[in-house]
Amino acid sequence: MISIDEDKIFEVIRKRKPASIALNGPEALFPKMQETGKKIMELFDIPAYIIGDTCWGSCDLNTHAADMLGADLLFNIGHTISMETLDKKVIMINAYDDVKFDTIVEKFAKEMRNREYKTLGIVTDSQHLDQLQSSRKILENHGFKIVIGDGKGQLNGGQVFGCEFYPAYNIQKRIDAFVFLGQSIFHSVSIAMSTEKPTFMLDPYFNEFHQINDKARTMEKKAILSIYKAQEAKKIGIVIGLKEGQFAKIKALNLKKSLEALEKEIQLFALTEITEERLRNFKGIDAFVQVACPRIAIDNHFSRPLLSVPQAEALIKVLKNEPIDDFLRLRHWL
């Protein structure tokens, strides 16, 4: 069960005495955020607004919504990063899953004992960071050598986002395989794609582990197919995402310049939610490039090719007859 660090929220409210606050987080946490909002209104007698728009990460803060509501503080729930605040108004609040990994890590260690993987890198998402050290101990007790990569930027040691992998990428040459703690194909598959190392997802709910590399290869093939389909496009729409942490106008303008030099006709668009439904409104465009969250293009199906930034950069190489083999082997897909 996931629990929000309410003590920290209450402590901040006591200290900063806001007239109202807003809570923002992933949809899966809305029921918990509703409970927290109710407690805040009862304890402090101030309005607590739950922002119901999507919030995919610390890149998707919704501070405009908090400003419109006149909220003095915005608590961003469940996207643990290495910093406590992102600006004076935004406070990052941990939401940890209390599920334990001991049983699945033991199972993994016993079943993998005689395999070729002797040195393992452990990585996880925001909700399970507190399980890194106990999992490390279990694996070490079974004779594995363990490496946990250092944090960088917003990432803590051993933590990955869906588009940013420094703690995994930077240790890949020192390890034989990655162990991802958590039931998240979204995160584990991207470790496999960015490093090409054998990657195992340890699911504590079903007490199962899976090697995720076949799935990663299928996704990568789909990403490559979109690049080659876009090669034929005469008119390309470049979409700038309007979510504040994903706003990349300069990148969009640079890609425009590069693609125009390769004789593509470019039209610029801006959207908050980049979906098939919204893109369908734009006529006469053969393919799109979007410079917001790369996973929108990599994970989803669109009727016309839609490329993320690394795919768009690969497209430029294809148009110049250069190889694109390692286009996703990056620390960061933006």
Please identify which residue in 66, 163, 171, 259 interacts with ligand SF4, judged by CB under 6 A. Answer: 163
Helices (H), the chain: 6-16, 30-44, 63-69, 102-112, 132-141, 166-169, 185-195, 213-231, 249-261, 276-279, 294-299, 309-319
In whole angstroms, give the CA distance from residue 121 to residue 102: 17
Closer CB to ligand SF4, 56 or 288, in the complex: 56
Q: Which region among 142-150, 155-163, 177-185, 320-328 touches ligand SF4 (by CB under 6 A)? A: 155-163
From 8, 256, 295, 331, residue interacting with ligand SF4 (rule: CB under 6 A) = 295
Is residue 200 involved in binding ligand SF4 (CB under 6 A)?
A: no
Mapped onto helix, strand or coil, the DSSP state of residue 249 is helix
- 57 is a contact residue toward ligand SF4 (CB under 6 A): yes
Among 121, 162, 182, 310, binds ligand SF4 (CB under 6 A): 162
d(CA 296, CA 163): 11
Give yes or no for a contact between 96 and 124, defined as CB atoms under 8 angstroms apart.
no
Q: Which of 246, 290, 308, 311 binds ligand SF4 (CB under 6 A)?
A: 246
For 143, left (φ over 0), alpha (ψ -120 to 50), or beta?
left
> Reduced to 3 states, what is the DSSP secondary structure of residue 97?
strand
Instruction: Check binding of 169 to ligand SF4 (CB under 6 A).
Output: no
29 part of the interface to ligand SF4, by CB under 6 A? no
What minimum distance in Å lies between the beta carbon of 292 and ligand SF4? 7
Which of residues 6, 33, 49, 56 is near ligand SF4 by CB under 6 A? 56
What are the Cα distances from residue 192, in Å, to 115, 186, 324? 19, 11, 17
* Residue 161 binds ligand SF4 (CB under 6 A): yes
Q: To the nearest whole angstrom, how small is the minimum distance from the Cβ of residue 109 to ligand SF4?
A: 30
Q: Which is nearer to ligand SF4, 53 or 98 (CB)?
A: 53
CA dihedral (216, 219, 221, 223) positive or negative:
negative
CB closer to ligand SF4 out of 12 and 223: 223
219 near ligand SF4, rule: CB under 6 A: no
Shortest distance, CB of residue 307 to ligand SF4, whole angstroms? Answer: 15
Does 293 contact ligand SF4 by CB under 6 A? yes
| Distance (Å, whole) CA 180 – CA 124 | 5
Q: Which of 257, 211, 218 is nearest to 238 (CA)?
A: 257
Tokens of 266: 């470019």
Return the range that interacts with ligand SF4 (CB under 6 A); candidates 51-59, 89-97, 111-119, 250-258.
51-59
Is residue 180 within the footprint of ligand SF4 (CB under 6 A)?
Answer: no
Considering the complex, state which of residue 164 and residue 203 has its C-beta at the smaller distance from ligand SF4: 164
Burial of 212 (0-12, 13-18, 19+ CB in 10 A): buried
Residues in contact with ligand SF4, counted by CB under 6 A, come to a total of 10
- Residue range at the interface with ligand SF4 (CB under 6 A); choices 57-65, 283-291, 298-306, 320-328: 57-65
DSSP character for 156? P
Give yes or no for residue 182 binding ligand SF4 (CB under 6 A).
Answer: no
Q: Which is nearer to ligand SF4, 149 or 162 (CB)?
A: 162
Pairing of strands 21-24, 48-50: parallel
Triad 150, 151, 156: Cα angle to 5°: 125
Footprint on this chain of ligand SF4 (rule: CB under 6 A): 56-57, 59-60, 161-163, 246, 293, 295
